[in-house]
Amino acid sequence: MTVSVAKSARPPDGAANPDSGTYDVVVIGSGPGGYVSAVRAGQLGLKTAIVEKEASLGGTCLNWGCIPTQALLHAAALLTEMQHARDFGLAVENPRVDMAALAQYRNRVVLKNTKGVEFLMKKNKVDVVRGRGRVAGPGKVVVTGADGTARTLATRNIVLACGSTVRSLPGFEFDQKQIISSDQALVLESVPKSMVVLGAGAVGVEFASIYHRFGAKVTLVEVLPRILPVEDEEVSAELEKVFRKQGIQVLTGTRAERVERAGDPERVDRFEGQRHRRQSTQVAAEISPAPTTASSS
């Protein structure tokens, strides 16, 4: 038996005519789920558009999640190695973190990755449509730009890759000063003297590790019996042992109850959970994110 295979041709004009405004696929969201879908659709010869409300492509992962966090983790690891440079016969005097320079490094890393996604869109002939996308009915996506103007895209298929957004704990609403989200923890202009991290999932343990190595006194709080509760128990136990050895205080099986503020608006006075009370200058609350589709904003 002989099977002949040929790459699908681009659909005829009318279905794939850029001027007609009609697409084979419209993807809402340009994060890893969205831009990979758009690239593959383009490779298959489909007329494709991707809708993104933010200024840069890449979604949370490239702009506020995995990529910038990994940049901070890398910097924190280098700082730790420099602090132990004499163990290797190297003289490094007073290594410390420069938050302004660190921000520039983080931004360079993010820009390199987001520009890479832009290149992939051009290479695979994917139209980038700026604005907030909304499914208005079968085969219709309305995109509202930053200036309020709306455009309707007609399409045969719609891919929802809207991603997620940070959410706060009741009683620990973000104020961008004392109680912050993981997004805000990425862009702090100075290292706090102390920090309580609420939530010991992947994001929580990353920021606990980063700011501990940057010099903050860190307390990591998890309501479940162990940190990294969705990972293998052996991994959780090993990481907790490492954290305790490093000086990070780990409180598992502990529920965050409230924050009491003193008169100084820049100071969180007491953190209370189960039988523990902690003083801290910063509280970073990181719980499971909410889907972007749940927000109308």
7 pLDDT tier (thresholds 50, 70, 90):
very low
Pairwise pLDDT comparison (54 vs 271), residue with the higher score: 54
SS3 assignment, position 13: coil
Strand partners, 194: 217
177 pLDDT tier (thresholds 50, 70, 90):
confident
pLDDT digits (tens, 9 = 90+) for 99-109: 999 999 999 99
Q: Is pLDDT above 50 for 260?
A: yes
Pairwise pLDDT comparison (202 vs 19), residue with the higher score: 202
* pLDDT computed for residue 256 by the predictor: 83
Alpha-carbon dihedral 18, 24, 27, 33, rounded to 10 degrees? -120
Domains, the chain, ranges and CATH? 22-165 (3.50.50.60), 179-287 (3.50.50.60)
Q: State the pTM of this model.
A: 0.84
Strand order of the β-sheet with 258-261 is: 258-261, 268-273, 276-280
pLDDT digits (tens, 9 = 90+) for 42-98: 999 999 999 999 999 999 999 999 999 999 999 999 999 999 999 999 999 899 999
